[in-house]
Amino acid sequence: MTGTVQTQNVDWDAAYTLDTRGQACPQPLLAMRRALGELPAGTLLRVLATDPGSWRDFHSYAELSRRPLLRAEQRGGVFSYWIRRDN
């Protein structure tokens, strides 16, 4: 990924949450792309997923689209991804 992403002072809990738990790849990624197209510019989106393949998919998408993945984590079998809707 190129460039630096500023994540200081981000209110992670205020993100719009898209719950794709239980959906198999590529559904979480497709749902994320659909949501980004519908949300207002600047909206922080958090995607919840349970498919382990989503880790690879979301990181690949960020790299290929040059849309930074601001945060990604796994806790108890649930993957969370934060991405901001750009202009």
Identify the residue with better confidence: 14 or 74: 74
Q: Which residues contact 17 (CB under 8 A, 6 or more apart)?
A: 45, 46, 47, 48
Q: What is the mean pLDDT of residues 17-24?
A: 97
- Please write the tens of the pLDDT for every residue from 36-56: 999 999 999 999 999 999 999
In the chain, % of residues over pLDDT 70: 91
- Does 25 participate in catalysis according to the annotation? yes
What's the pLDDT band for 3 if we cut at 50, 70, 90? very low
Q: How many CB atoms lie within 10 A of CB 45?
A: 18
pLDDT at residue 5 is higher than 60:
no
- pTM for the full model? 0.87
Catalytic residue among 25, 31, 48, 72: 25
Q: What are 14's two structure tokens? A: 């205020």
Cβ atoms of 20 and 46 within 8 Å: the answer is no
d(CA 44, CA 49): 16
